[in-house]
């Protein structure tokens, strides 16, 4: 079948600045992208850049931008209320009539005083991207990329996913009257995420493979069918996800923390947050860079190994395995982008064990903040970065929590019941996290029994 051709992206103009595409490897600057968003010269990833950005551009005066973004928070316009579109001066242009928004972004930051004490840092906060419309950080990129699909008049959008991208894509496609095709690994994603994609009306295909296998099929599919690819190789996704870092800096009164810590799976999110930090410094919205560190699960650690074993010179794909199914990824697409921001900000890469993830999740939960396992790698990673001395006691740290607790209640219930690691090689190590478990107590419907339970808990 002939390859399907359509110009998806073109050079655009906004507020005196121009956004263009550039290949991250060979530097080619195509006027449009092909269906798979790969450079037609060398096959690597594309990114947006803004050649019109100069410090003497009045449209980009840092003080004026900060004040404009703040004013928009009181506006009744849907695009101003979105925590993504509110920052549209730092994004490529998409016509307003194509914008699909669910009022995404606007996520809270929380202090974690007990986790701070336990890890020995003075200031520890979490930005909870799980408090988005579909309960994960994916919505910030999806609002923007789904809108670009709408602009391109696509009927179908598609993604391969470990569950959160698909939930988000299905919702935004439905809101924009587009059909969505989801490819997910059979049996390897949580029920919460699968149920979202079903309810939002996606054609949901559970493939007998892993996430990396789903990506391979999808890449072949988009070359043959007119479907718009919504994985994070799509540079619009990265642009939308940048806003989490912009919003964070605004929440911190434009005083960057010393460290930002993110989970690493396909490595789109770390790339996006790092890109935003570098751009904000270029535009003098911030005057110094936080160190951006990336944490992977030990069983899904190709990026950690790339940096530690090969100095970032190559990435060896692996068969990934972790109970943090969101980041069960062995061949991350955006590893070169992530490497660039890791090096540019002076961040570090770490790996954490399954038990460390489960314990960290329960510790965050005990502060009244629920996140999914993949998010908890951040706290587990911080502990290691404290032990290695990379993060110092007096420094300020922000963890990016990427998904909500209710995305994967199965994991949480098994952990608290003490079943999570039964029969696995981690059973012995898991005993160390027992003090964090709070199994439900089944009692007779009897006042005395409840009082006895209360008294026992008090002791």
Residues in contact with ligand F0G by CB under 6 A are 136, 138, 161-165, 232, 263-270, 326-327, 372, 374-375, 402-403
Biggest alpha carbon–alpha carbon distance for the chain: 75
Q: Which is nearer to ligand F0G, 136 or 148 (CB)?
A: 136
Other beta carbons within 10 Å of 203: 13
Q: Report, in Å, the least distance between residue 201 CB and ligand F0G.
A: 18
Q: Which is nearer to ligand F0G, 35 or 266 (CB)?
A: 266
- Report the C-alpha dihedral over residues 84, 89, 93, 96, rounded to 10 degrees: 60
The alpha carbon of residue 64 and the mean position of all alpha carbons in its chain are separated, in whole angstroms, by 29
Q: Which of 446, 24, 16, 68 is nearest to 235 (CA)?
A: 24
Q: How far apart are the first and last CA of the chain?
A: 72
Q: Which is nearer to ligand F0G, 101 or 270 (CB)?
A: 270
Q: Is 197 helix (H, G, I), strand (E, B) or coil?
A: helix
β-pairing, 259-263 vs 227-229, is unpaired
Q: Which is nearer to ligand F0G, 60 or 292 (CB)?
A: 292
The alpha carbon of residue 74 and the mean position of all alpha carbons in its chain are separated, in whole angstroms, by 27
Contact criterion met (CB below 8 Å) for 379 and 295: no
Q: Report, in Å, the least distance between residue 211 CB and ligand F0G.
A: 7
Q: Report, in Å, the least distance between residue 316 CB and ligand F0G.
A: 18
Q: Report, in Å, the least distance between residue 327 CB and ligand F0G.
A: 5
Q: Which is nearer to ligand F0G, 273 or 391 (CB)?
A: 273
Q: Report, in Å, the least distance between residue 428 CB and ligand F0G.
A: 27
The DSSP-derived string for 127-151 is EETTSSTTSBTHHHHHHHHHHHHHH
Q: Which is nearer to ligand F0G, 164 or 234 (CB)?
A: 164
β-pairing, 227-229 vs 203-207, is unpaired
Q: Which is nearer to ligand F0G, 20 or 407 (CB)?
A: 407
Q: Report, in Å, the least distance between residue 268 CB and ligand F0G.
A: 4
Contact criterion met (CB below 8 Å) for 294 and 262: yes
350 has which bridge partners? 295
Q: Report, in Å, the least distance between residue 272 CB and ligand F0G.
A: 8
């Amino acid at each position: 079948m002939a390859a399907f051709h359509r110009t998806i992206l073109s050079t655009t103009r906004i507020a005196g600045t121009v956004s263009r595409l550039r290949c991250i490897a060979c530097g080619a600057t195509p006027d449009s992208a092909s269906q798979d968003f790969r450079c037609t010269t060398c096959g690597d990833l594309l990114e947006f850049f803004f050649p019109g950005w100069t410090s003497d551009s009045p449209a980009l005066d840092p003080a004026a931008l900060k004040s404009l973004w703040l004013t928009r928070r009181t506006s009744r316009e849907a695009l101003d209320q979105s925590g993504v579109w509110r920052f549209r001066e730092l994004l490529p242009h998409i016509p307003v009539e194509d914008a699909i928004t669910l009022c995404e972004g606007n996520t809270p930051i929380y202090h974690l005083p007990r986790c701070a004490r336990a890890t020995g840092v003075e200031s520890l906060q979490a930005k909870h991207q799980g408090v988005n419309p579909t309960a994960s950080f994916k919505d910030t990129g999806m609002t923007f990329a789904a809108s670009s699909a709408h602009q391109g008049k696509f009927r179908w959008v598609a993604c391969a996913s470990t569950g959160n991208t698909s939930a988000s894509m299905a919702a935004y496609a439905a809101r924009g009257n587009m059909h969505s095709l989801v490819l997910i690994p059979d049996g390897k994603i949580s029920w919460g995420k699968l149920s979202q994609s079903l309810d939002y009306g996606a054609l949901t295909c559970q493939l007998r493979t892993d996430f990396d296998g789903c990506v391979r099929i999808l890449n072949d599919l988009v070359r043959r069918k007119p479907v718009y690819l919504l994985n994070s190789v799509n540079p619009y996704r990265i642009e939308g996800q940048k806003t989490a870092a912009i919003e964070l800096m605004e929440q911190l009164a434009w005083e960057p923390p010393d460290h930002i810590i993110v989970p690493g799976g396909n490595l789109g999110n770390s790339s996006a947050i790092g890109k935003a930090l570098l751009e904000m410094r270029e535009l003098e919205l911030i005057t110094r860079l936080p160190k951006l560190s990336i944490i992977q699960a030990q069983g899904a650690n190709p990026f950690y190994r790339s940096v530690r074993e090969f100095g970032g010179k190559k990435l060896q794909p692996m068969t990934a395995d972790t109970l943090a199914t969101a980041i069960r990824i062995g061949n991350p697409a955006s590893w070169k982008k992530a490497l660039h921001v890791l090096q540019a900000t002076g961040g570090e890469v770490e790996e954490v064990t399954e038990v460390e993830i489960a314990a960290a999740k329960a510790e965050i939960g005990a502060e009244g903040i629920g996140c999914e396992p993949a998010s908890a790698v951040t706290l587990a990673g911080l502990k290691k970065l404290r032990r290695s001395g990379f993060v110092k006691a007096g420094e300020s740290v922000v963890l990016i929590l990427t998904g909500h607790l209710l995305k994967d209640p199965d994991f949480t219930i098994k952990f608290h019941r003490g079943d999570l690691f039964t029969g696995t090689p981690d059973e012995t190590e898991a005993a160390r996290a027992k003090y964090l478990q709070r199994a439900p107590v089944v009692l007779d419907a009897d006042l005395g029994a409840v009082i006895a339970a209360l008294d026992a808990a008090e002791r």
